[in-house]
């Protein structure tokens, strides 16, 4: 094993598989995966050695014992950074991290295209006429540039 290996851990999943692919090419970084059900005796050595915690932002996907808050931080003496993925940082107590000297960063927007696609799908499914209305508006603007929808046409 290389000297000065940096230790990173995550629980359940990472935001994108490419994260693991990139880390796989970095021999100076060791990554450990935990599950919500991992017994505490297996968790402790991993979190004690960790320098970075890659954490998801969704509270319902992560057991409270893995939320980055005072009790957990006290068990991670080498931790330098908590890195959240997703919208927000509901699983991270920023005040507790700051008091522990742990940097908090957030990578928002990694799933922006999927969120937009889901929104459009749901909007068209729930409000089918919305899709037709948007299509009609786009068609109108194409054939009537400069006119507002519903404005009277010149005689």
pLDDT tens-place string over residues 86-142: 777 899 999 999 999 999 998 766 666 776 777 677 766 766 666 666 667 777 667
| pLDDT of the residue at 58 | 84
148: which DSSP letter? P
What is the 3 state secondary structure string of 12-23? CCCCCHHHHHHH
pLDDT tens by residue, 22-70? 889 999 999 999 999 999 999 999 999 999 999 988 888 899 999 999 9
Which residues are CB-neighbours of 59 under 8 A, at least 6 positions away?
Answer: 67, 90, 91
- Sign, Cα dihedral of 97, 98, 103, 104: positive
């Amino acid at each position: 094993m290389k000297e000065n290996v940096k230790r990173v851990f995550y629980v359940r999943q990472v935001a994108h598989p490419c994260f693991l692919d990139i880390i796989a090419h970095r021999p100076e970084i060791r990554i450990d995966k935990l599950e919500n059900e991992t017994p505490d005796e297996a968790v402790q050595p991993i979190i004690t050695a960790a320098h970075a915690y890659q954490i998801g932002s969704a509270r319902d996907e992560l057991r409270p014992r893995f939320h980055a808050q005072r009790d957990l931080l006290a068990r991670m003496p080498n931790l330098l950074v908590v890195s959240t993925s997703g919208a927000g940082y509901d699983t991270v107590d920023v005040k507790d991290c700051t008091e522990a000297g742990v940097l908090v960063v957030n990578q928002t927007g990694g799933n922006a295209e999927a969120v937009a696609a889901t929104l459009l799908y749901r909007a068209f499914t729930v409000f089918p006429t919305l899709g037709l209305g948007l299509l009609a508006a786009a068609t109108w603007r194409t054939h009537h540039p400069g006119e507002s929808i519903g404005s009277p046409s010149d005689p």
